[in-house]
Structure 1
Amino acid sequence: MKPFTIAGIQMRVSATQSNLEMMKLKLDITMHLYPSVQMVMFSELCAYGPLTYYAQEVPGAFEKEMQAMAKKYAIWLLPGSIFEKDGDKIYNTATVINPNGEIVTRYRKMFPFYPFEVGITPGNEFCTFEVPNVGIFGVSICYDMWFPETVRTLAVMGAEVILHPTMTGTMDREIEHSIAQTMAAVNQCFFFDINGLETGGIGCSTVCGPDGRIMYKAGATEEIFPIEIDMERVKRSRELGVMRLGQPLKSFRDNLGDFSIYAPGAKHPYLDSLGPLIKPTKVDKLEKLKKLESEIELPVSVMSYKGDHNDN
């Protein structure tokens, strides 16, 4: 057995004031109650909420506060994510901090929740990091997991645990549970899907094992849940199969076909026929918009990313 304990913190998130002090309090409580915890993670946009008005520069004061907390308790820390201001662009960025209080890596969300999370620039780099003598961890954020290529890429890079802060307050939360289970199973890894409350989501954080089964599912109240995982389960699953049956990663490796849809410059007439990436609206308005688009030939990007307010 190769144990490692990760605590998820599901807490209320305010959209109008900093949640930083509450995060620090939750960390104090977590480490007082569960001193065996080796890693702690929060939900997406936990510190300052879902408004780009509170975007921060990185590195900055928030990271320094979190670095001090990680060093105080000698833990690995992924303090959710914040909106990062970088020149005239804003990213949704998660930071990974080691037990010495050092920044190990940062990850920018690759799939903002368009057309709702407007004004956010997508990241373009996958993120994995190593916990010495434990294993390889990957980071993804919220809507990223709806695109199976993201988690599969992390698995191919060696990730055995996916750390996935999210901020889902919508009626598709149950669908996300099934996606989390599927991503864990088809990539034969642990999957930590940590959601917030109130402005930060509707809770129901989920932890899945490498066989896709739910190890823990939180309710809709504030919770701190330390989950001890056995990293050997990933190795055995990947070597012997999910429930000693399918071996998807090996099969993917051994049967890598020519996935022409990913080729640079490939044409996708069906996808192009789906229209612009816009919020659903009344049918008559949608028809007018389609007609306007065809007449003036606006690119999809122009039709999709208007606005300066985010309401993911």
Structure 2
Amino acid sequence: MKPFAIAGIQMKVSAITSNVEMMKLKIDITMNLYPWIEMIVFSELCAFGPLTHAAQFIPNNFEAEMQAKAKKYGIWLLPGSIFEKSEEKIYNTASVINPQGEIVTRYRKMFPFYPYEAGVSAGEEYCVFDVPDVARFGVSICYDMWFPETIRTLAAKGAEVILHPTMTGTIDREIELSIVRAMASINQCYLFDVNGLDTGGCGRSIVCGPDGRILHQSEGTEEIIPLELNIERAKRSRELGILRLGQPLKSFRDRINSKVFDIYKSEVVTPYLDSLGPLIKPTRLDTIAELKIKENQLEQLASTTHYKGDDKL
């Protein structure tokens, strides 16, 4: 099993103009500097930015241009994702292109960032593909990772490397860095998380190995991240344990059919989860309503409590 070289591209993303020409330039620069690279991965929504008005049907000219670049350099290419129009819906979709310039598969993000990613539909199918004589790869996009079932399913399907384009410019990026480490170790896989800059995110892309240790973490500037992965590390971790200790995938396998996972059965009733209410975007009105409730509670408390001087009766 030979090593495999992947480059993540952390670049500035505009929401106003197309970023495709810059992506093509970044591919050229990467292959000129690091001709040993075998795969390039961009961030989520890198090509056209985070606004759904840029949605388009697939296949399209962008995908064709990326296919030409992959074929020119003989590389695997995951050019981030774009908003895809499909009938009356919009999806957040990533394409996987092989060194012959062929579309191997496409993946639609399963967990749009509701309630903020409004108007985007959820995909229904997991995405794994094989790089011959190297490993099985899985694709996950941004918020998907917050639902551990998604990465666990990819691992259960044999993925040893998870490619994870993301677009996070919010203050929870620090939490995401912890999630990447946790998902890599729990699933004993490589996790290649590539974030964008400006309207495409706050950077801080991160790559972790199958023991959860950080192989590289970027800062907030443009960067090419060329790394050679030793896939054998993932195989050895799954065979012998993380740091020769826990073997979570095997333990999960041995308990998957037991009753401890009843929560995932369709007939299970979850009254507590139902009690949490609808998935809505918080507003100031919610804060005002909470304050009014507290004021009412204080008024009720005051009306039932009597004082005479300094003495409580």
Does the TM-score normalized on the shorter chain lie above 0.5?
Answer: yes
Determine the C-alpha separation between the residues in 2 that align with 1:198 and 1:10. Answer: 11
Amino acid of the residue matched to residue 271 of structure 2? P
Match of 1:61 in 2: 61
* 1:232 matched to 2:212: no
Alignment match, 1:297: none
Q: What letter matches 1:279 in structure 2?
A: K
What does 1:250-269 correspond to in 2, within 5 Å? 250-256=250-256, 257-258=258-259, 259-269=261-271
Q: Which residue of 2 aligns with 1:98?
A: 98
| RMSD across aligned positions (CA) | 1.2
Partner Cα separation in structure 2 for residue 105 and residue 83 of structure 1: 16
1:41-90 deviation per Cα after TM superposition (whole angstroms, max 9, x unaligned)? 00000000000000011011111010000001000000000000011100
Indicate how the Cα distance of structure 1 residues 89 and 156 shifts in structure 2: closer, same or farther if over 3 A, else same.
Answer: same
SS in 2 for 1:202: coil
- Alpha-carbon distance in 1 for matches of 2:287, 2:9: 44
Higher deviation after alignment, 171-180 or 258-267: 258-267
What code does the residue aligned with 1:221 have?
Answer: T
How far off its partner does 1:220 sit? Answer: 0.3
What's 1:3 paired with?
A: 3
Q: Where does residue 115 of structure 1 map in the other structure?
A: 115
- Written as runs of structure 1 = structure 2, the 5 A alignment for 1:271-286 is 271-282=273-284, 283=286
Distance in 2 between residues matched to 1:172 and 1:113, nearest whole Å? 13
Q: Does 1:78 align with 2:84?
A: no
1:223 aligns with 2:223: yes
State the shift of 1:156 in Å. 0.2
Residue of structure 1 equivalent to 2:181: 181
Q: Secondary structure at the match of 1:253?
A: helix
Amino-acid identity (%): 70
1:104-253 alignment, distance < 5 Å: 104-253=104-253
| Matches of 1:239 and 1:270, distance apart in 2 | 38
Distance in 2 between the 1:29 and 1:141 partners? 25
Unaligned runs of 5+ in 2: 292-313
Given the superposition, is the C-alpha separation of residues 60 and 285 from structure 1 closer, same or farther in structure 2, using an over 3 Å criterion? Answer: farther
Task: Figure out how many residues of one structure are paired with residues of the other and give that number.
Answer: 288
Which has the greater radius of gyration?
2
Match for residue 302 of structure 1?
none
Higher relative contact order (CA 8 A, sep 6+): 1
Which letter does structure 2 place at the counterpart of 1:187?
A: N
The equivalent residue for 1:38 is 38
Residues 284 and 217 of structure 1: CA distance in aligned 2, closer, same or farther (over 3 Å): closer
* Change in CA separation of 1:12 and 1:284 when aligned onto 2, cut-off 3 Å: closer
Report the AA paired with residue 109 of structure 1.
K
Tell me how far 1:191 sits from its aligned partner: 0.2
Q: Deviations over 1:262-289 (max 9, x none)?
A: 111321110111111111123356669x
Cα separation, 2, equivalents of 1:267 and 1:287: 29
Runs of 4+ in 1 over 6 A off after TM superposition: none
Mapped partners of 1:267, 1:12: distance in 2: 45
1:118-142: CA deviation from partner (whole Å, max 9, x where unpaired): 0000000000000000010000000
Deviations 1:202-231 (A, max 9, x none): 000000000000000011000001010001
CA distance in 1, matches of 2:71, 2:288: 55
Amino acid at match of 1:103: I
Query: Kindly tell me: are residues 272 and 217 of structure 1, through their superposed partners in 2, closer, same or farther at Cα, counting changes over 3 Å?
Result: same
- Rounded to whole Å, the distance in 2 between the matches of 1:276 and 1:255 is 32
Q: Distance in 1 between matches of 2:87 and 2:290?
A: 37
Equivalent position SS for 1:181: helix
- Closer, same or farther in 2 for the Cα pair 1:14/1:266, shift >3 Å? same
Q: Structure 1: which 5+ runs fail to align?
A: 289-312
Partner Cα distance (2:135, 2:3) in 1? 11
Amino acid at match of 1:55: A
Q: Distance in 2 between matches of 1:46 and 1:284?
A: 35
